[in-house]
Structures are given as C-alpha cells and as structure tokens.
Chain A
C-alpha cells in the first residue's frame, strides 16, 4: 500500500518501538501523522 498521502495513526509501545519513532519514520515517507501514542501494554 502506498502510504504517501495517507493520514497515519502511529501507535507505539513503551517496551518496543515508541510512537514518536514511528511518526518520525512515516514523516520521512511523506505521510501525514495525525495521531502519535505510546501505549504501555502490561
């Protein structure tokens, strides 16, 4: 799927990849990140 032009929701995890890291990557791909969260799944 072509991500460029999409609105992305980045849901990271505290003990894995944080939402902010996902958002940084997606932004470099020309994706608009509309929500960034880092959840804590225990």
Chain B
C-alpha cells in the first residue's frame, strides 16, 4: 500500500482510536486485497511504509460482502457498485476476504 496512505491511516487511528475505525476495500485482485488487509491489521508486509511493524488490528471488509452491502441503501449500491459486482469476480473477492480474516 502507498506509504502516504499508510501514514494517513495511522494518523486517523491515532485520532479516532482503532475501535472506531473500519476499513472497506474495493479491489478485486487477490494479491491487492491480501496486501491491503495485512497492512491495516498486521502491518506493512513490504516494511517500507509508516505501518511497517505497526499492528493496527483494524476490522477490514469488502464492499461486495453481504455484511457491508446489507447496510447500504440498495439504490445507492446499485448505482455505484452494482455493475462492477456483476462484471468482477465477486465470489473470488468474498472467498479471499474470508481467508484473510481467518489469517
């Protein structure tokens, strides 16, 4: 993950507390999801950004997951994400997210 984004995330967690912050991802690539999820939970796997060695332990979800989707206005979801969910491999995304959360 971009070091600048890591720095901003660290700053937001310092400001609001890890208990109040959630991360919602939108990538579809398995490796991108794994890297992003690891960065905000265990720390930057590349050991180059501000989150290197910093275990934030943030909850991390994907916009395609029912747990998130069910809380969103269906019309807003369809307009912004519906088409992308149909064209990208959403089942694979959900499988990867389940796997990364199990560790």
Binding site for B on A (CB under 8 A): 1-4, 6-13, 15-19, 21-22, 24-26, 28-29, 31, 34-35, 37-39, 41
In the complex the two chains form, is A24's CB within 8 Å of B22's CB?
Answer: no
Known: A1-B59, A16-B27, A28-B72. A8 touches B22 (CB 8 A): yes
Among B5, B24, B71, B76, the one with the most A-chain Cβ atoms within 10 Å of its Cβ is B24
- Contact (A11, B24) CB under 8 Å given A4-B71, A41-B29: yes
CA distance A25 to B84 in the complex (A): 13
A and B contact pairs by CB, cutoff 8 A, 7 listed: A7-B16, A9-B9, A9-B12, A11-B27, A15-B28, A16-B26, A31-B22
Give the total of B residues in contact with A, Cβ under 8 Å: 39
Given A1-B59, A12-B27, are A25 and B16 neighbors across the interface (CB < 8 Å)? Answer: no
Taking chain A's interface residues, is the majority helix, strand, or loop, or is none over half, making it mixed? mixed
| B2 and A35 contact, CB distance less than 8 A | no
Chain B min CB distance to A29 (Å)? 4
In the assembly, what is the distance between CA of A9 and CA of B5, in Å?
10
In the complex, the answer to whether A17 meets B63 with C-beta atoms within 8 Å is yes
CB distance from B54 to the nearest CB of A (A): 15
